[in-house]
Homo-oligomer: A and B are copies of this chain.
Amino acid sequence: MIIQLKSSLTAQQKESILEKIAAIGYQSSEVRTQFAHYLVCVGKKEFDIREIGLMEGIRDIHRVSDPYKLVSKKWRVEDTELDLGDGVVIGRNNLTIIAGPCSIEGEAQIRSTISHLQQHGVRLMRGGVFKPRTSPYAFRGAGIEGLKAYAEHCRAAGIKVVTEVMQVSQVEAMLEYVDIFQVGARNAQNFNLLDALGKIDKAVMLKRGISGTVEELLQAAEYVFANGNEKIILCERGIRTFETIYRNTLDLNAVPILKEKSHLPVIVDPSHGIGLRNHVESMALAAVMAGADGVIMEVHECPERALSDGQQTLHYSEAATLYEKLHKTWELRNSFTKGL
């Protein structure tokens, strides 16, 4: 059960509500986000929801039978729209394209990428500065200095910065420079990191775990929301299966299911999802057709020389063609939802 409280709520009204909830045997968690003030109540007894709904100080009340609550569409039936400023909006009626290299490698690469994105009207750039690597001896990213240069150039160009955060202690240092904090598949259940990202006022993009279920992804989002941050984006990036012919198995089934279960935007990562450059286009277009709000993909001036993930990274020219096809596919899908 989610109780949305009025902004005019008095201390006495709150006390009465909490007493009532306790009386019916429910446990409640208070959630205060950028936008609103909630009580999330968990319990099993049957009771007449109007008993609470009619109390003073309550704006709205909803039963939510899902294991996740605040991210559920059972409560918020309209799709969430995230406004990142400067006209960059994610979700609902907006197609989101995020593109850029796997890893930030240096200023020349940053400038080259931004120039490519600007030329094609792409407003969000991805680029890793902290890289999770299987081996401790591998390249682990350009770090906070790399991020500063990356952010400076993006700001100047009106482009938003999307980058991965790997641990709690990085959040504060990165905060000024990042527009969307990305949580990687290996940290999908790093609950302390999710807690920390719930306490900031920046968008957070959550990648599904390597073998994470749809429900676990939604529960990860619930962590962020329950800590106070409503700006959440979900990302399907492929799961681990028995099939070894591609890097991961992109699970597009998850797209319509996530859109049905949650009001949050859903982005698909076809680069990691199939892991093979020449098939990224097919999977990106299929993702949009399956109902995704956008895609995140790897592009590089010269993928063959990229420090990581070159085999799944598009050349600028390939990416340019794909941007155009994505827009056309988006238009066709929208024409369907408006009726034939």
Binding site for B on A (CB under 8 A): 27, 29, 40, 42, 67-69, 132-137, 166-169, 186-187, 189-195, 209-211, 213-216, 219, 222-223, 226-227, 238-246, 249-257, 260, 273-274, 276, 278-279, 282-283, 285-291, 321, 324-325, 328-329, 332-333, 335-336, 340
Contact = CB atoms under 8 A, between A and B. Distances in A.
How many copies of this protein are present in the complex? 4
A211 B189 CA distance: 13
Given A253-B274, A274-B253, A329-B332, A210 B213 contact: no
Which 7 A-B pairs have CB atoms at the shortest separation, nearest pair first?
A211-B211, A286-B290, A186-B189, A167-B192, A289-B289, A256-B282, A286-B286
A164 to B, nearest CB: 12
Contacts of A69: 137
Contacts of A285: 289-290, 333, 336
A139 B59 CA distance: 28
A55 to B, nearest CB: 22
A135 B67 contact: yes
A181 to B, nearest CB: 15
A195 B133 CA distance: 12
Nearest to A42: B137
7 contacts: A167-B193, A249-B249, A250-B252, A253-B279, A282-B291, A289-B329, A328-B336
A223 B137 CA distance: 9
A239 to B, nearest CB: 7
Nearest to A135: B219
Nearest to A238: B253
B40 A137 contact: yes
Contact of A340 (B210, B274, B321): B321
A251 to B, nearest CB: 6
Q: Which of A133, A253, A285 lies at the interface centre, i.e. has the most chain B CB atoms within 10 A of its CB? A: A253
A42 B135 CA distance: 11
A276 B255 CA distance: 13
A242 B287 contact: no
B240 A256 contact: no
A243 B251 contact: yes
A28 to B, nearest CB: 9
B166 A133 contact: no
